[in-house]
């Protein structure tokens, strides 16, 4: 029902834009929610998106802007006048503002920062001071905290006063001298006790993240431990920000999308699909296709090296697609499984040998099952020698593919590279070439050609 409403809204807005009737666009969107308006803008081109945004009431426009991806926000900043952008950027949360600034040219970003109030400029500077992939870039430096000696009644009154100024009040940090993190307490715990109860009496040990830690690791910790918020500290354990569960889930969604794109042999898109220019789609795919095409020449060289063998028994060429496909699929299964396990924290950097030994056994079992089936079927339709070749090749190729597929993401992790980069496309290319070498060597040994 929701998608149907969006489609209807988009069609009406599109017809109004075709008539160049912005007043009609304004009336159509007046009954839409900010999320619906953002959805329509995500499916529009650069020019139409700016026109639609200009028709929104000022208070709605601020909310819609914050709902858009940073890349689309950057497009709007380039399309709108400075005065139109200034109020919107000022109202953004500091970590969202930092994401937007990362998407903008340096001159535009500098101009926006200079237009901020001193307080917001300082908060944004805190965020931008951390490495790009760190949780410091995604935390919110606006938070409420308390000393352990403060009273519950006073804390409740102060929380009411700052409700509109901080992102979350459900998990609240407790700090000592110099903002040292001592613990946390929940709003539920605060509401349970008498007003004269000291905060220190309801304080619990805090799960926390280090500001320089990888954003995905901290977000995963927040989600896995079911925390509504996670305090973020610096090297001296001083509280510098808070990560809400909403932001943690956004980070995990982005990382999952990136991994899925790279596993499929493409670069992740920074914009929704329909809002991405054709050139950007081409650029996201062409490099990977070129790399894989170059890698595919390995397979050609292997076939050329065994050309004489194939010429003596042409039937061997019939099974090449089967063996290449089986090896590639086996390696891809292992790589995808291990990459996912790394993302979930089930597998760590030191588990390389554990993974290798497991995948050797898994690959051997798979190869044994497929090899027996291949041996029986091929022996019936061709002859016994060909059946032995296919059976042994499937056993060897599946074992090799599973081992390589399972270990490569961990090797990539040790080298500091995204494990998804070493997943399906590269593994398929590697296993194709090595699988053919194994196939023809086994054929030469068994058949004697």
**Cα–Cα distance between 299 and 296 in angstroms, integer?**
5
State residue 422's pLDDT score: 61
Query: Is 260 in contact with 394 (CB distance < 8 Å)?
Result: no
pLDDT digits (tens, 9 = 90+) for 61-86: 888 888 888 888 888 887 776 666 77
Please give the CATH superfamily to which domain 277-447 belongs: SLC41 divalent cation transporters, integral membrane domain (1.10.357.20)
Equal fold, 1-135 vs 277-447: no
**Cα–Cα distance between 64 and 182 in angstroms, integer?**
37
Q: What is the mean pLDDT of residues 97-119?
A: 80
**Cα–Cα distance between 8 and 13 in angstroms, integer?**
9
3-state secondary structure of 432: helix
Closest CA to 317 of 251, 382, 225: 382
Q: What is the mean pLDDT of residues 19-37?
A: 85
pLDDT digits (tens, 9 = 90+) for 126-143: 888 888 889 999 999 989
Specify which of 61-70, 322-331, 345-354, 363-372 reaches the highest per-range mean pLDDT.
363-372
CATH number attached to the domain at 152-264: 3.10.580.10
DSSP secondary structure code for residue 277 in this structure: -
3 pLDDT band, cuts 50/70/90, is: low
CATH number attached to the domain at 1-135: 1.25.60
Domain ranges of the chain: 1-135, 152-264, 277-447
**Cα–Cα distance between 297 and 129 in angstroms, integer?**
45
**Cα–Cα distance between 142 and 243 in angstroms, integer?**
10
DSSP 141-208: S----B-TTSBHHHHHHHHHHHTTTSS--SEEEEE-GGGBEEEEEEHHHHHHS-TT-BGGGT-BPPP-
- Percent of the chain with pLDDT strictly greater than 70: 88
**Going by DSSP bridges, is the β-strand pair 209-210/229-233 parallel, antiparallel, or unpaired?**
parallel
State residue 409's pLDDT score: 83
Beta carbons within 10 angstroms of residue 31's beta carbon: 8
State residue 132's pLDDT score: 85
pLDDT digits (tens, 9 = 90+) for 232-258: 999 999 999 999 999 999 888 888 877
- How much is the pTM? 0.68
Residues 1-24 as b/e (b if ≥16 CB within 10 A, e otherwise) read eeeeebeebbebbeebbeeeeeeb
2 pLDDT band, cuts 50/70/90, is: low
Which strand ranges, in their side-by-side order, compose the sheet holding 229-233? 209-210, 229-233, 239-244
């Amino acid at each position: 029902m929701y998608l149907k409403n969006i489609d209807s809204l988009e069609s009406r807005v599109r017809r109004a834009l075709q008539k160049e009737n912005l007043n009609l666009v304004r009336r159509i969107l007046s009954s839409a929610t900010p999320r619906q308006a953002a959805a329509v803008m995500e499916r529009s081109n650069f020019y139409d998106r700016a026109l639609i945004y200009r028709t929104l009431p000022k208070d709605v426009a601020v909310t819609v802007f914050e709902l858009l991806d940073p890349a689309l926000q950057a497009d709007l900043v380039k399309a709108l006048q400075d005065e139109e952008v200034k109020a919107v950027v000022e109202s953004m949360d500091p970590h969202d503002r930092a994401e937007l600034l990362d998407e903008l040219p340096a001159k535009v970003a500098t101009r926006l920062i200079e237009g901020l109030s001193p307080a917001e400029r300082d908060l944004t500077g805190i965020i931008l001071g951390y490495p790009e992939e760190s949780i410091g870039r995604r935390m919110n430096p606006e938070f409420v905290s308390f000393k352990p000696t403060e009273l519950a009644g006073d804390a409740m009154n102060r929380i009411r006063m700052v409700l509109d100024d901080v992102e979350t009040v459900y998990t609240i940090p407790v700090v000592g001298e110099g903002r040292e993190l001592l613990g946390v307490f929940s709003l539920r715990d605060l509401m349970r006790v008498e007003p004269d109860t000291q905060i220190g009496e309801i304080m619990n040990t805090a799960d926390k993240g280090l500001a320089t830690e990888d954003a995905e690791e901290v977000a995963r910790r927040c989600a896995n431990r079911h925390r509504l918020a996670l305090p973020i500290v610096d090297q001296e354990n001083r509280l510098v920000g808070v990560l809400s569960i909403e932001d943690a889930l956004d980070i995990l969604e982005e990382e999952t999308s990136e991994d899925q794109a790279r596993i499929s042999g493409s670069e992740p898109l920074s914009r929704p699909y329909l809002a991405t220019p054709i050139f950007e789609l081409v650029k996201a795919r062409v490099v990977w296709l070129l790399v894989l095409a170059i890698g595919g020449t390995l397979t050609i060289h292997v076939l050329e090296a065994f050309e004489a063998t194939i010429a003596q028994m042409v039937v061997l060429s019939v099974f090449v697609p089967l063996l290449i496909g089986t090896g590639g699929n086996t390696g891809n299964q292992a790589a995808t499984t291990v990459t996912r396990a790394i993302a979930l924290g089930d597998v760590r950097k030191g588990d390389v040998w554990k993974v290798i030994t497991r995948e050797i056994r898994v690959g051997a079992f798979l190869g044994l099952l497929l090899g027996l089936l291949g041996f029986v079927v091929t022996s019936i339709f061709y002859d016994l020698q060909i059946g032995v070749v296919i059976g042994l090749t499937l056993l060897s190729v599946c074992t090799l593919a599973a081992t390589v597929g399972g270990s490569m993401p961990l090797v990539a992790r040790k080298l500091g590279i995204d494990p998804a980069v070493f997943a399906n496309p590269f593994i398929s290319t590697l296993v194709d070439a090595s699988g053919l070498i194994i196939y023809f060597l086994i054929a030469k040994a068994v058949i004697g050609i």
